[in-house]
Amino acid sequence: MKIAIVIWRMAFSGAENVANALIQEFISSGHEVEVILTASKVEASTDFKVHSVAIDGPQGIRQIKRSILLRKIVKENNYDVVIGFGHIDAIHVLRALPFVNTTTIACARMDPLTYPENKRLRIERKLMYRMVDGMILQTNSQKEYFKKIVKGPTVVIPNPVRDFGIKSVCVAERENKCVTVARLDDAQKDHMFMFECFREFVKIHPDYILELYGDGPDKQKYENYINQHGLEGKIVLCGRVNNPQEHIKNAKMFLLTSRHEGMPNALIEAMAMGLPCVAVDCGGGGVKDLVRNNENGIIVEQGDLQTFVYEMCRVADDNVLQERLSAGAIQIRAELSLKAIAHRWIEAFKKIRKGKIDYD
């Protein structure tokens, strides 16, 4: 099968990491894969062919030129499927490819109730997704949203677990620290809620620290909070590192407090290392799809600070609970292995292509 993945860039972030892992697995399974970048130039050499339709200039002209170039690349290369990897790139695909003989697939990566924030783009998405041949979604919540809009098949496939070769650390050897890995972006990640929870938690467990791995626009805001509340050395902004998994593997617990997510990769990776996880039931539905409460993690209603702190204390105080959550969480390695998830994608491509043929 000849596959084109349309994505804004190939860099460090959840969506791009998932795309790259899937591409490598598709290629190893004998499929031909090319990438079309919509917002960045071709910079680094890769194991697959990369095109760019990134255009400079005024927005209206840029959109027209991008659509013309994208249409030209797709027609010249005769792809079997063209995937818009994310809402915006799916719109780019649908703008460019009316009446082109290929199968178009939109891939949802975020909570559709909150993203895109631009109202015009949300209206355009609703109108244009009626033309897509099918969708691949991360969560059942996303499927519920789109099933009344999309005429073709909609398939739910969670993100894969990447194999980092990192072994789980036994409970007895873990350090008294809470960890999270995320972009420092309070509007989405709601780290201020996490800080408030930890500030209450550390009054009861003063031997704990909280480490955040990642970078982003709210770093100064977070530093100001830490200084204002005298939490220097207790809340530690560790910055972006190449191998955060190596740094967090020995933590007592992983925290997630996002307002909305698609399928949270950081949570998946933490569970795959056997970390006990405490997470809010954020918009997008990914946490609820991943976590079976009190079996492989703990879910707390969004905004419930008192319960979140209580659950953090419960994990910190109960080694038996830590063992149970760790043993349950690590099962996700088999459930979401890259090979298994990539196979589900290929089967979804076949299902959507068949649906298109039957519909035609």
pLDDT digits (tens, 9 = 90+) for 166-204: 778 888 889 999 999 999 999 999 999 999 999 999 999
Of 59, 129, 120, nearest to 94 by C-alpha is 129
The CATH code of domain 171-335 reads 3.40.50.2000
Instruction: Provide the pLDDT for residue 57.
Output: 80
CB within 8 Å of 39: residues ≥ 6 apart: 8, 9, 54
Q: How does 241-257 read in b/e, with b if 16+ C-beta sit within 10 Å?
A: eeebbeebbbbbbbbbb
Enumerate residues 6+ apart whose C-beta is below 8 A from 114. Answer: 259, 260, 283
CB 311 within 8 A of CB 293: no
Provide Rg for the chain, Cα atoms: 21
In whole angstroms, give the CA distance from residue 167 to residue 260: 29
56 or 273, which is more confident:
273
Is it the case that residue 116 has pLDDT exceeding 80? no
| 3 in Cβ contact with 33 (< 8 Å) | yes
Q: What is the arrangement of strands in the sheet containing 2-7, beginning at the earlier edge strand?
A: 49-52, 32-37, 2-7, 81-85, 103-107, 134-137, 154-156
pLDDT tens for 221-254 read 999 999 999 999 999 999 999 889 999 999 999 9
Does the fold of domain 171-335 match that of domain 2-160+337-359?
yes
For residue 331, the SS3 value is: coil
Q: What are the structure tokens assigned to 176, written together?
A: 């008294």
Burial 32-48 (b: 16+ CB within 10 A, else e): ebbbbbbeeeeeeeeeb
Q: What is the pTM of this model?
A: 0.80
Domain ranges of the chain: 2-160+337-359, 171-335
pLDDT, residue 359, reads 42
CATH numeric code, 2-160+337-359: 3.40.50.2000
